[in-house]
Structure 1
Amino acid sequence: MATGRATVLVEPNRLETWDVPIIEPEHGGALVRIVLGGVCGSDVHITTGEAGVMPFPIILGHEGIGRIEKLGGFDTDYAGVPVKPGDLVYWSPIAACHRCHSCTILDETPCENARFFEDASKPNWGSYADFAWLPNGLAFFKLPDGADPLAVAALGCALPTVLRGFDRCRPVRLGETVVVQGAGPVGLSAVLVARQAGAREVIVIDGVEGKLEVARSLGATAIVSLALPPEERRRQIYDLTGPSGPSLVVEAAGVLPAFPEGVDLTGVHGRYLILGLWGAIGTQPISPRDMTTKNITIAGATFPKPKHYHGAMHLAARLQDSVPLAALVTHRYAIEDAGKALDAVHHGAVIKAVIDPELSPALRMTPASSPARPM
C-alpha cells in the first residue's frame, strides 16, 4: 500500500514522522495532496499539553490547502461549486455529526460528537502531511480562480475564527472604534476585518515591533506598545477613542492577563470578544460591577462554522492584490521539521509559518529565498 509522511504528536512534546497509508476517499469525501499546512498557535498549545489531553497519537495541523487527488462519488464542493482532480481546495477541519442538538437545532459548533482530530493510525485530515483524507461531512471548498494559496493560508484558521466571533458579538459597524489585543494571526485578522468594515479607529496592542508594522499594513490606524504600563496604554487608547472608550475590544493575545485589561478597556455600551484564550487554561480576577456600570457585552467564540471558512477564503482572494496577505507567510518548513516550525511560532520568530511537503528536511525557506513554485 502506498504511504505518505505525517507529523504525529505521540504525547505532549513528542513529535515523530510516520509513514501512513494513503486511503481511497469514502463516499462524499475526498483525498487531497497537501500544498500548504498552516502552523497555528493552537498547535503549540496542543503540543505542549497546555490545551488539555488530546486523543493521542494525532496528526497535527488543522489549517490546510490541498489539491484534489480523488473524489468520493461527488463532483461538487460543499458550496455546490463543480470540482475535479487537480483543483485546489480549502477545508473546515471539524468533522461534525449533523445528528445532534447543536448541529440541527442550535445550528452551532462544535457539535456534541465533533471530531477535531482522528487517531493517527486511521484515515486522517491533519495537514502536517503529504495527504489529507477528508471524510464525508467535513466541508471543503474550491479556491476561486486566480486565488493565491499563500494569501488564503496566510491567516489560516484565524480569519474564520474572527468571522465566527463577529457573528457571535455583532459585526463591526461603520465608524466604530476597535482595540485589538495582540498582533498574531487572530489579531491581524481582526484588524483586517474591522478596517474593511469601516471602523474609524483600529488600535493594536503588542510588544513586537515587526508585528505592529504588519498590523499597520492590514489597516491598523494606531499602535500601542505592550511595554508601556497598563494605565498608560489605557490613556493612549482613550485619547484616540474619546471618553466613551472603544466600541469593541478583541482579545487575541492568548495570555490570561489580557482578560482583565480588556474588560477595563471596553467602553461604555461596548463589546469584549474573547478569541485568543482557547489554549490558556486558568482564571483571572475582574470586577463584575464594571460590566454592569458600563453596560458591556462579553462574548466568546470558538470553532468556526464551514460558512466562516468559505467567507474567509473569498475575502482573502478578493483582497490579495490590494492587501499584502501572501507576504504574511514568512517561513516554510518541511514535514520532518514541524518541531522547528512550532518552536518558531512559540517564540514569535515568524508572522506565519506553514508546512510545505515539497521541502526537504532542515531546509527552511522564507519568501525571499523560496523558488518559484506552481500553485
Structure 2
Amino acid sequence: MRTAKRAVLTAPGKPVEIWEGPVPPPVGGDVVVSVEMAGVCGTDHHYTLGEVAFPGPMVLGHEGVGRVEELGPDVSTDYGGDPIAPGDLVYWVPLKPCHRCHACTVLEDVSLCPDLSPGRFKDPSTPPMATYTELANLPSGLAYFKVPEDTPPEAVIAFGCAMPTMLHAMERLDGISFGQSVIVQGCGPVGLAAVVLARLAGAGDIVVVGGPAPRLEMAKKLGATTTVDLALASDDETRVAAVLDATRGRGADVVIEATGRVEAFAEGVRMVARGGRYLIVGLWSAPGASSITPRLVNNRNLRIIGSALSRPRHLHQAVGVARHYHRQLPLAEAVSHRFRLDQAQEALDAVGRQETIKAVIVPGRPSSTS
C-alpha cells in the first residue's frame, strides 16, 4: 500500500513532526489528491501557540491545491458538477458540515455547523483531509472544485481560505456600493482579499492600515489607494487621525477588520463614518476581550457585522475570482515564500513573524498521474 508523509502538531508549543502513514484507495465518494501547494494560514500559527482549542494530535493545514490521484467509484464530477478525472487540479478547504444539525438543516447555513471547525481533522495516523501532507483524502461531503487549466494555481492558493472567507463576509455585509470608501485593518491574506473585492466592487478610497512594507506594497498593487504603515503610525490616535485624513474627516462607509488582533476592534469602530458598517472577519482565532463605547455605535447609527468561515459556494466563487482576474491583478505574486513539507515549522514561524505575504508548503511528491 502507498504511504504519504504529513506534518503533525502533537501539542501546542512543540515542534511540528513529520509522520508517515498508509493511504488506501478511495471508497464511495472519496477522492485521493496529491497536494501541490498548501497555504500557511495565521490560524495554523495560532494552533501552535495554543490560542485555538486543540483537538489533539492533528495534521495541520486547511488550504489546498492538488491534483486528483484517484477517484472513488461514485465520483465523476466536482462539487460544482464539472466532470473530473485523475490529473485534474482541485482546490479545497477541509470544512465538512454534518448536514444533521440546526445550522445545516434549519438555518441552511453550513458555516455555522458546530462540527465544521478546521480543527476537527482526522487522526494523524489515517489519510488526512488537511493539507500539510503529500496525499490528502477528500471524503464524501467535503466540497472541492476544479481549477481551470487557464488559471495559475498560485492565484488561488495565494488567498487560501481568505478569499472564500471574504466572499462570505461581503455577502453578509450586503456588498460595497460603487464609490464607497473602505478602510481595511490588516494586510495579510484576509486583508489583501478584502482589497481585491473592494476594488472589484468599485469602491472609491481604499485605505489599508497594516504592515510590514512588502504587504503594504502588495496591497497597493491590488487596489489600495492609501496605506498607513504601523511602523510609522505606532499608536491608535495617530492611525485614526491618518485614516480620517484619508477620508476627508468622515471615516469610511465600510471598515473591515482583518488583523487577527483584538485591540483593532475598538480602534476600528472609531474609523467608521456615520451610518457606516464595521465588518469583523479576522478575529476567529484571536483570544482576549475588547471594550467599546456603546454610545458611539448608537449615536452614529453604526452596524457591526461578524462573519466566520465560508460556505461551499464561496470556494467556487474564489476560483472564479482567480480565473477571471489573475491577468488584471497580480494575484499569484502574493505567494512570496515556498517551503518543503519538512520545513513546515519554519513556514509557521515565518508567518508568525509576519515575514511573508503568503507562504505555501510544497510537499514535492510526484503524482502518479503525471
Q: Normalization by structure 2: what TM-score?
A: 0.94
Residue in structure 1 matching 2:142, options 129, 138, 143: 138
* One-letter amino acid of the structure 1 residue matched with residue 116 of structure 2: A
Q: Equivalent residue for 1:112?
A: 114
Cα shift at 1:319: 1.2
Name the CA distance, whole Å, in 2 between partners of 1:79 and 1:243.
45
- Taking the TM superposition and a 5 Å limit, the aligned residue runs for 1:15-164 are 15-52=16-53, 54-72=54-72, 73-108=74-109, 109-114=111-116, 116=118, 117-164=121-168
Question: Could you report, residue by residue, the CA deviation over 1:25-55 in whole angstroms, capped at 9, with x for unpaired residues?
Answer: 2311211000100000110001111112x22
Aligned Cα root-mean-square deviation (Å): 1.7
**Percentage of matched positions with identical amino acids:** 44
Residue 198 of structure 2, aligned match among 194, 199, 208 = 194
Correspondence for 1:178:
182
Does 2:355 match 1:349?
Answer: yes
Structure 1 residue 292 corresponds to structure 2 residue 298 = yes
1:237 paired to 2:243: yes
Q: Which residue of 2 aligns with 1:9?
A: 9
Query: 1:210 offset after TM fit, Å?
Result: 1.6
Instruction: Give 4+ residue runs of structure 1 displaced > 3 Å after superposition.
Output: none
SS at match of 1:267: strand
Letter in structure 2 aligned against 1:7: A
Stretch of structure 1 that moved more, 230-239 or 294-303: 230-239
Q: How far 1:235 moved relative to its partner? A: 2.5
Quote the residue 1:368 is aligned against: none
> 1:55·1:119 contact (CA, 8 Å) conserved in 2?
no
d(CA) in 2 for partners of 1:359 and 1:114?
Answer: 29
Residue matched to 2:220: 216
Q: 1:303 aligns with which of 294, 309, 313?
A: 309
Superposed displacement of residue 325, structure 1: 1.3
Matched with 1:330 is 336
Contact 2:23 2:126 survives alignment (8 Å): no
For the residue of structure 2 that corresponds to 1:269, the secondary structure is: strand
Instruction: Kindly state the Cα deviation for residue 349 of structure 1 after the two structures are TM-superposed.
Output: 0.9
Alignment partners' CA distance in 2, 1:13 and 1:313: 34
Amino acid at match of 2:213: E
Q: CA deviation at 1:121?
A: 2.1
Q: Among residues 167, 172, 181, which one is paired with 2:171 in the alignment?
A: 167
Residue-by-residue CA offset, 1:174-228 (whole Å, 9 max, x unaligned): 1110000111111111001001110001000013122111100000001112232
What amino acid sits opposite 1:61 in the alignment? Answer: G
1:119-165 deviation per Cα after TM superposition (whole angstroms, max 9, x unaligned): 21233111111011001100010112311001111111111111111
Q: What's the secondary structure of 2:199's corresponding residue?
A: helix
Residue among 239, 255, 259 paired with 1:253: 259
Q: Is the 8 A contact 1:92 1:306 kept in 2?
A: no
- Measured at CA, do residues 249 and 133 of structure 1 come closer, stay the same or move farther in structure 2, by a change above 3 Å? same
Q: In the TM superposition, what is the alpha-carbon distance from 1:95 to its structure 2 partner? A: 0.9
User: Which stretches in structure 2 are left out of the alignment for 5+ residues?
Assistant: none
How many residues are matched? 361
CA contact 2:255–2:268 (8 Å) conserved in 1: yes
Give SS of 1:27's match: coil
Shift of 1:330: 1.1
* Pair 1:115–1:297, CA change in 2 (3 A): closer
Distance in 2 between the 1:266 and 1:301 partners? 18
